[in-house]
Structure 1
Amino acid sequence: MRMQMQANSFTRPFLPSGKRLAGLSVLGTALLLAGCASQGQGSAAAPVPEIRPGILAGYLPADARPDSLALVPPPPAPGSAAQALDDEIARANQAQRGTARYRQAAVDANLKFPQAAGVFSCALDAPISQEQTPRLYLLLRRTLADAGLSTYGVKNKYARARPFVANQQPSCTPAEEAMLSKDGSYPSGHNAIGWAWALILAEIAPQQSNVILARGLAYGQSRLVCNVHWQSDATQGRIMGAATVARLHADPTFLADLAAAKAEVAQARANGLRPAGDCRAESEALAIK
């Protein structure tokens, strides 16, 4: 089956050893570290099975996830106008190196929990943490797996080289370059995850939707600033993130957790709880020029 192609090393924590394929993925590593860093699941939620110690299952079984092979076209061909545009955008982003925007891109690269949970806190105008908003925290942990895994049919088929491999310029996460160089660039898993999170959070807090969606776009563009993804990777990653959220809305467990998270955020606001971190600095770093 096509979905078996997802058994890239992103899925290595999820599969028995006899079903693993060769390859290495930073998303898989991030999922493993995320699970090790945060075991809590929220006292009001039903227990969530672990696919490997510390790694929570997503909401969707493999055969229910959107199929990137059916939704995403092949990556731009070498020498094409689309590849030329990707190259031009990658060159332009080199000017960001060393700036506040570049440093924010490095922050956005981190998929480990609890750090990853706070990325949208300023945009949501509420805390996102295991202690203060446990159901929302759980929702983000589980949907990370759903959205990230949705990209792997095409990732595995085309194994597109990353920009830092092609242009021989550094990325904002040099410690991850060895892993990333073995993981297909197209489509972007970070963009699938970030856009899925943005859509979910915009539904939870519709009064903040413009700010949240803008943060979701900026989160994805951080991968270009970081020199680890092409623009076309980001664009198609968002397609997969949106497709995943659409499919999640047919899952009753997701819908129950979504409703609980919405109530939780409303209560956090009523209690006067504020985002963690320096929201002004983040806003300035991400300001549209």
Structure 2
Amino acid sequence: MPRTSHPLSRRMSAALLAIGLAAFIPARSGAEETETAKPEGYLKKHELPDSLSLLPPPPRPDTPAFAENDEMHRRAARLRHTPRWELAQQDADLREGGAITAFSCALGVQIDAQQTPRLHMLLMRAMRDTSRSTRAAKTHYAFTRPFVARGETSCTPHKEDSLRSNGSYPSAHAARGWTLALLLSELAPERANALMARGASYGESRMICNVHWYSDIQQARVMSHATLARLHGRADFMQDMEAARAELAAARAAGHAPRQDCAAQAKALQDSLTGTN
């Protein structure tokens, strides 16, 4: 689908663009594109990594990778209607930068557009690029999602109609989460273990929700790394990283602790797919 800019974005001054305020555009229709408005990314369409070239085809039946998908699907089904399932439902919500807020506990600082606007915008723009990088493969392969293939339900029944017609491979949602984990670990290396663990669990949430296969999550990470490699070569991105690092340090010094129930989140995350037999 071609990208269109909001008319107001074309009239924004170069000065505003220079300080990293991105123009907002209306949300497109699509299963994993649920925000009411999203900032433009850093990369033009032709600069994005090509998922169709970088990724292998999704697993075919009667292969070890397909069997692994089935095994992880079985494990995920055992976590239905548990606190971990409820957390997966929360992780599915992308409205108001929900993916970013999900990492506040792991970071130890509340991340949102009010407390950390520069950091929040950096992450939103990077997630935008990462999500767009998955589209070529998603569209080409149109891999059927697990709840459709198995005749089951998902953790987000209100999204199922759009998800049925939206390819599963690779997961744009999981790619966003892995991008957040990587960038926040770079900005706060002392919290890297917790942040990377949250990035992994964020991807697992998509399997627990029954909307993605294990292979979708694994290849999402490839697209996250490929996109971030491109972003790190851009001067505007690196300038925004420095501004976000300073803002994060100030927020930590000011005691802007997460507003989520971090103890409940940690308890729910004790149930993982790798630890479920």
Normalised to the residue count of structure 2, the TM-score between the two structures is: 0.87
Is 1:262 aligned to residue 245 of structure 2?
yes
Relative to structure 1, is the Cα distance of residues 148 and 114 closer, same or farther in structure 2, using a 3 angstrom cutoff?
Answer: closer
Is 1:163 aligned to residue 146 of structure 2?
yes
User: Contact 1:147–1:189 (CA<8 Å) still a contact in 2?
Assistant: yes
SS in 1 for 2:96: coil
Cα deviation, residue 69, structure 1: 1.5
Task: Give the equivalent residue in structure 2 for 1:34.
Answer: none
Amino acid at match of 2:222: I
Q: Which moved more, 1:262-271 or 1:111-120?
A: 111-120
Is 1:138 aligned to residue 85 of structure 2?
no
Task: Give the equivalent residue in structure 1 for 2:60.
Answer: 77
Is 1:48 aligned to residue 22 of structure 2?
yes
1:115 to 86, 90, 98: 98
Is 1:186 aligned to residue 191 of structure 2?
no
Is 1:231 aligned to residue 220 of structure 2?
no
User: Contact 2:88–2:209 (CA<8 Å) still a contact in 1?
Assistant: yes
Deviations 1:230-275 (A, max 9, x none): 0000000111011111111011111111111111111111111101
Runs of 4+ in structure 1 deviating by more than 6 angstroms, as ranges, are: none
SS in 1 for 2:60: coil
Alignment root-mean-square deviation, CA: 1.9
Alignment of 1:1-80 (within 5 A): 7=1, 14-15=3-4, 45-52=19-26, 54-80=37-63
Is 1:90 aligned to residue 64 of structure 2?
no
SS in 1 for 2:255: coil
Task: Give the equivalent residue in structure 2 for 1:283.
Answer: 266
User: Contact 1:195–1:217 (CA<8 Å) still a contact in 2?
Assistant: yes
Normalised to the residue count of structure 1, the TM-score between the two structures is: 0.83
Relative to structure 1, is the Cα distance of residues 284 and 43 closer, same or farther in structure 2, using a 3 angstrom cutoff?
Answer: farther
User: Contact 1:93–1:224 (CA<8 Å) still a contact in 2?
Assistant: yes
Amino acid at match of 1:108: D
The runs of 5 or more residues in structure 2 that have no matched partner are 6-15, 28-36
Deviations 1:108-128 (A, max 9, x none): 111111433311000010010
2:159 to 176, 183, 186: 176
Is 1:129 aligned to residue 112 of structure 2?
yes
Alignment of 1:190-201 (within 5 A): 190-201=173-184
Relative to structure 1, is the Cα distance of residues 196 and 114 closer, same or farther in structure 2, using a 3 angstrom cutoff?
Answer: closer
SS in 1 for 2:242: helix
How much identity, in percent, do the aligned residues show? 45
The count of residues paired between Structure 1 and Structure 2 equals 253
Task: Give the equivalent residue in structure 2 for 1:240.
Answer: 223
Amino acid at match of 1:48: A
User: Contact 2:20–2:240 (CA<8 Å) still a contact in 1?
Assistant: no
Question: In 2, distance between residues paired with 1:43 and 1:280?
Answer: 39
